[in-house]
Structures are given as structure tokens and as C-alpha cells.
Amino acid sequence: MSIIAITQGDSAGIGPETVAQAFRDAPADLRGCFVVGDVATLRRAAQVIARPGVPMVPVAQIAAPADALNVLPRCIPVFQLPGIAGPQPWGQVSADAGRAAADSVVWAARAALRGDVAALVTAPLHKEALSAAGVAFPGHTELLQAEATAHQGVALTQMPVRMMLANDELRTVLVSIHMSLRDAIAAVTYDNVLQTLLITHTALLRSLGRAPRIAVAGLNPHAGEGGLFGNEEATVIAPAIAAARAQGLDVSGPLAPDTVFMRARSTPGHPGEFDVVIAMYHDQGLIPVKYLGVDKGVNVTLGLPLVRTSPDHGTAFDIAGQGVADPASLIEAIRMARALCE
């Protein structure tokens, strides 16, 4: 069985408690998984989710990833990172929590790059806490990209990555990730759009076992309406699509962004027209998937030489420590990571 590392996330948020719930509620899916982080943080999380009449979820410290295979079901194996901070106050931005979360991701990424683990699943971290800790990257995607390029000895530009958000009804891949809307519009360039198409095609060809049907959303309302509402579709997006088609990719667009996601949505008895939609910026692509249900959404990083997934939600400081967070998205992320390893 593949060994999967789960990072603890920000200890002030809901990450650790959703991890604890996943081990409690989905033991078959969590077989061969272990947590990278802090034992005390996971023990506090286990206490938070405790319920009368339900046995406390035990936490066991392990010495190596392979030890996860020997831990009993519903027990949380934790690889203790030396020197990281313990649990921080619930719902508060903390540099210590940000540093511990980042260190957990770095360790898991390096383990995956060495081949010690088959995949990593990342519990949510807090971008403000990362910044407070002096971490130079705004999120998981950029941090993992930096680790992968350093491991392979190449420049960041030689390993472009993209974010895909997916559930059982819809997949969307973003041309740009975490930046202001003004900067995201500027990032809609021929090279970025074509690169996104090629990364998406390569990744889904491997997971689907066939060439994916890719739809491309326009940037402007009605995909520019023939230039009435903007010309990026004609001058940037359409040429990139033509170049992708010339390389044999199955690409349609640019299509009106207010209807393309409905056309791609696949429901029982009504398959979608497309396997994936390329969105021009963060919210254009993530709102449709999240509207269908955060509990089923999974974030997958495309373009890395490792498998990484994460739940489709953040740290939820407002409910952290109450034991009411839903672990469904994390469990889906673990299931998808395992499927991508096979």
C-alpha cells in the first residue's frame, strides 16, 4: 500500500481536527497515512473531536513513514518534526503556527521527492501566518514548486505549475493563482494560456487514460462579444488555443465564462461536454466548483514531480477548536491522492 504524508496545517485552524476526524471516521481510506507535524497538536485535536460514549482517538509517534503501515486503524500516526512549535491559540494568526505549518510541508515535499512517500495531502495553512513567520511564499503551490525545482536543480521557470480544483462533477484549472485581480488580468498572456493547456493535457491524459476534452473560458463577459467588451480573447486566448490544437490537443474556446462551467458539469445521466475548464483567474474558476460543495472539492497541483492534493477550504479560524469542522473534503483529497499514485 502507498504511504501518504498528511501535513498538519496551521495549528490555530481546523486542519488538525479534520485530520483527526478523518482517521476516526474513514479508517480504510487512511490506511498507510501518517501526519507530519507535532504530536501535541494532534492530541489536542483528538480531544476537540471527542464525544461522550465514543473512544478517544489515540495518537502514536512514529520514527519513519513506513511505520504508518503498522499502526492500528483509528490511531493517528505522527512523525514529530524537531523544533517546531506546539499547538497555538485557536483562531489567532501566529508566526509560530505559520512556521510549523510551512516546515511540515517542506519535510513532506522532500520526502515525496526522495520517494519515501508516494504523495502528500496538505491540511490548510494561513497565508497571513506564513507571512508573519517570514516564509517567502504565499501558499502551498508556490512553496512546493520551490522545493521541487531546488531538488531537481532547475529554475522556477523550468517547472511551471497550475492549480486544479476538482470534484465529482467539475474540474477547473487556473491560468493564475494567488495574485490581485489587476495582476491576474495582466497574467492572461499567450505563453501562460498555452502553458496551462499543455500542463492540463499532460496531467489529465495520465489520470484519465485518454486525451482530455478541454474548454477555455474567456476573460471578458460573453468572451468579449466579438471585441465589444475586450479583445483579449482574439489577441491572446484564441492564438494560444490554435497553437495547442496544432500540437494535437482537444481544446474548445474561448467560451463565455458565465455558461462554460454549466456545459462542463457532469451529473448522473447527463455527462458534461468537457473534462476540464481552463479559467483565466482564481475566482472565475474556483467559485463554480466551490458552489457545488466545498465538502467534495479537492485541490490538485499540476506540473510537479510529485502527487499533492489538499481540501477545498481554508483554516476557518471562526470555528476552529469547536469540533464542528467537516472532514469530507480532506477525506476526498486523500482518496484522490491515492488514486493518482496508482
200 and 270 share one domain: yes
Q: Which residue has the cell 487512511?
A: 30
Asked if residue 50 lies in contact with residue 23, where contact means CB atoms within 8 angstroms, the answer is: no
pLDDT for the residue numbered 297? 86
178 and 209 share one domain: yes
230 and 249 share one domain: yes
Quote the pTM value: 0.90
Taking the C-alpha atoms of residue 58 and residue 36, their distance in angstroms, rounded to an integer, is 16
Strand duo 213-217 + 250-255: pairing: parallel
39 and 114 share one domain: yes
9 and 154 share one domain: yes
Domain presence at residue 51? yes
Domain presence at residue 296? no
Give yes or no for residue 149 having a pLDDT over 80. yes
Strand duo 308-311 + 119-122: pairing: parallel
More confident residue, 179 or 13: 13
Give yes or no for residue 293 having a pLDDT over 80. no
Domain presence at residue 45? yes
CA atoms 272, 273, 278, 279: torsion sign:
negative
17 and 144 share one domain: yes
| CA 264 distance to own-chain centroid | 21
pLDDT for the residue numbered 153? 96
Average pLDDT of 235-249?
Answer: 98
Q: How confident is the model at residue 341 (pLDDT cuts 50, 70, 90)?
A: confident
pLDDT for the residue numbered 70? 94
139 and 16 share one domain: yes
Q: How confident is the model at residue 54 (pLDDT cuts 50, 70, 90)?
A: confident
Give yes or no for residue 240 having a pLDDT over 90. yes
Mean model confidence pLDDT for the chain = 95
Q: Which residue has the cell 517567502?
A: 136
Average pLDDT of 288-315?
Answer: 90
188 and 138 share one domain: no
Domain that holds residue 327: 4-159+303-341
Provide the percentage of residues in the chain whose pLDDT is more than 90: 87
Q: How confident is the model at residue 29 (pLDDT cuts 50, 70, 90)?
A: very high
Check which CATH number belongs to the domain holding 72 and give it. Answer: 3.40.718.10
pLDDT for the residue numbered 112? 97
Average pLDDT of 239-247?
Answer: 98
Burial 300-310 (b: 16+ CB within 10 A, else e): bbbbbebbbbb
58 and 148 share one domain: yes
pLDDT for the residue numbered 312? 86
DSSP string across 228-292? TT-SHIIIIIHHHHHHHHHTT-EEEEEE-TTTHHHHH--BTTB--S-SEEEESSHHHHHHHHHHT
Give yes or no for residue 39 having a pLDDT over 90. yes
Domain presence at residue 297? no
What's the number of domains the chain is made of? 2
Average pLDDT of 175-201?
Answer: 95
pLDDT for the residue numbered 52? 86
Please state which of the ranges 98-107, 161-170, 272-281 shows the lowest mean pLDDT: 161-170
155 and 172 share one domain: no
Q: How confident is the model at residue 211 (pLDDT cuts 50, 70, 90)?
A: very high
237 and 202 share one domain: yes
